[in-house]
Structure 1
Amino acid sequence: MTTASRSATLIDIAWPETAGVRAFRFLALAVAGSLLLTISAKITVPFWPVQMSLQTFAVMAIAAAFGWRLAVATVLLYLAQGAAGLPVFQGTPEKGIGLAYMVGPTGGYLLGFIACAAIVGHAAETWARGSIVKLGAAMLIGDAVIFALGLAWLGTLLGWDKPILAWGLYPFLLGDLVKIALAAVAVPTAIAALERLRGL
C-alpha cells in the first residue's frame, strides 16, 4: 500500500516513488506512455470484421499499470502532442494532423480516452487491484464511456440520420472485448509476478 486508501499499482512496484525523483519519474513515465500510445495507434492487427488497432488496449493497460493520475496525465500529454501537429494519431498524417484531425470523426473517442484512463486507473488503485474479473469490469465501463463520447460526437458531426452505430460501434465491439480481456489479464498477472519476485 502506498497510502491508507490507495493500493500500489504495477508501476509503483516496478519503479517505487521516492522524494528525490518524484517529478522526474512522473514526467518520464508520462512521456514513455505517450510514446506507447503513439506506437499502438500505428499498429493494426488483422481481425474481423475490421482491422484492430492496439490503442484501446494501450490506454487500458497504461491506466491499470499507472493509476489514474499518471494515466490521465499521459493521455493528456499524448493529446497535446497531437494538437501540436505531431503525427501521433491513427491515420496521421495521411488524414490530417493537429486540431483539424482532433475535431474530426474520431474526436469524441480521443476525449473518451481521458475518461477511460481515469475510470480504469482509479479502479486499479482501489477496488479492482489485482483482480482480473474486477479490472475487466472496470475496463468494460471505461470502454463504454469511450464509445458513448465517440458516438455522441460522431452523430453531432455527421448527423443522426446517418448509420452512426454501424460506423462507430458495431464493427469494433468484438475487437475491444479481446483487447479488454488481454489487458485485464496482463496487468494483474504482472503485479503478481513482481510481488513474488520481490517477496511482497
Structure 2
Amino acid sequence: MSTLAHRPVLSDLVWNAEGTQLWLKRLALLVAGVAALTVSAKVQITTVPVPVTLQMLVVMVIGASYGPRLAGATLASYLALGFQGLPVFAGAVAGPAYFAGPTGGYLVGFLLAAVLVGALARAGWDRSPVSMALAMAAGILAVYVPGVVWLAASWGAALGWENWYAYGVKTFIWVDALKLVVAVIAFPAIWKLVGDARA
C-alpha cells in the first residue's frame, strides 16, 4: 500500500495508445466521464436542501479508474459546463448561481475527491479491499468537509445551525457508504481478474 509507487490504473489497460491516439483516448474517457456524471446527477432522491444522487459513486469510480490527472480534468470539465449554464447538475438549472446554492461545497468536493482517490489508485490502493476502503473513506471526507462547511457557512441561519449534521451528513452518509461498497469490492476483484505485471 505504498504511497510512493506509480502504478497503472484501470484506464491504462484500455486502448493501449501513444501520441495522437493517446490524446484521443483521454478525450474519449473525459467525455464518457462527464456523461456519466451528468446521468448520475439526474438519478436522484429529492431531499432538502441537497438531493441524494449517484454522483458520489461515479466520482470515486472515475478517480480510481482514471488516475489523478485525467480524473481532475474530467471533473473540472464537468463543473465548467455546469458553471456555463448547461443542465449537467442535479437541479433543472445550472450556472454561477447554482454554485452559490447549498450544493456548491459538495461540487468542489467532487473535484478534490476524484484527484485524491486517483492519486491513491496510482499508488496501488485499489488493489485490495482494505486499502480501497481507506481510499474511499478519504474520498468521502474530501467531499463532505467542503460540502458541510459551505452548507453551514452559507445556509446555517436558514437551516438552523444545530442541524448542519442532519442536513449535510446524516441524510447521505449511509447511502453513500453502501454505494461505495460496490467500488471497494469491484476494483480489487477486477485487478485479480486482469492481473497486473507491474504491481
TM-score bracket relative to the smaller structure: 0.7 to 0.9
Alignment of 1:168-183 (within 5 A): 168-183=168-183
Alignment of 1:5-44 (within 5 A): 5-44=5-44
Residue 153 (structure 1) aligned with residue 179 (structure 2): no
Alignment of 1:90-105 (within 5 A): 90-91=90-91, 93=92, 96-105=93-102
Please name the residue that 2:129 is paired with.
132
CA distance in 2, matches of 1:51, 1:74: 22
Instruction: Find the residue that maps to 2:195 and give its secondary structure.
Output: helix
TM-score when normalising by structure 1? 0.86
CA distance in 2, matches of 1:97, 1:132: 37
Please name the residue that 1:85 is paired with.
85
Superposed CA RMSD: 2.4
CA distance in 2, matches of 1:142, 1:41: 18
Shift of 1:51: 7.7
The code of the aligned residue for 2:27 comes to L
Please list the CA deviations of residues 141-174 of structure 1 after superposition, one character each: whole Å capped at 9, or x if unmatched. 1101211100111111113653111111111111
Partners of 1:43 and 1:53 within 8 A in 2: yes
Residue 72 (structure 1) aligned with residue 69 (structure 2): no
Gap regions ≥5 residues in structure 2: none
CA distance in 2, matches of 1:169, 1:40: 19
Please name the residue that 1:63 is paired with.
63
Shift of 1:79: 0.4
Shift of 1:45: 6.6
**Paired-residue identity, %:** 37
Please list the CA deviations of residues 30-56 of structure 1 after superposition, one character each: whole Å capped at 9, or x if unmatched. 11101000111111379xxx9842110
Partners of 2:68 and 2:115 within 8 A in 1: yes
Partners of 2:6 and 2:124 within 8 A in 1: no
Partners of 1:14 and 1:194 within 8 A in 2: no
Shift of 1:25: 1.4
Q: Which moved more, 1:177-186 or 1:76-85?
A: 177-186
CA distance in 2, matches of 1:60, 1:82: 19
User: What is the aligned length?
Assistant: 189
Partners of 1:9 and 1:67 within 8 A in 2: yes
Please name the residue that 2:103 is paired with.
106
Shift of 1:128: 0.5
The code of the aligned residue for 2:194 comes to L
TM-score when normalising by structure 2? 0.86
CA distance in 2, matches of 1:6, 1:15: 20
Gap regions ≥5 residues in structure 1: none
CA distance in 1, matches of 2:111, 2:51: 23
CA distance in 1, matches of 2:114, 2:21: 24
Please name the residue that 2:167 is paired with.
167
Shift of 1:7: 0.8
Please list the CA deviations of residues 168-198 of structure 1 after superposition, one character each: whole Å capped at 9, or x if unmatched. 11111111111121112222222332338x9
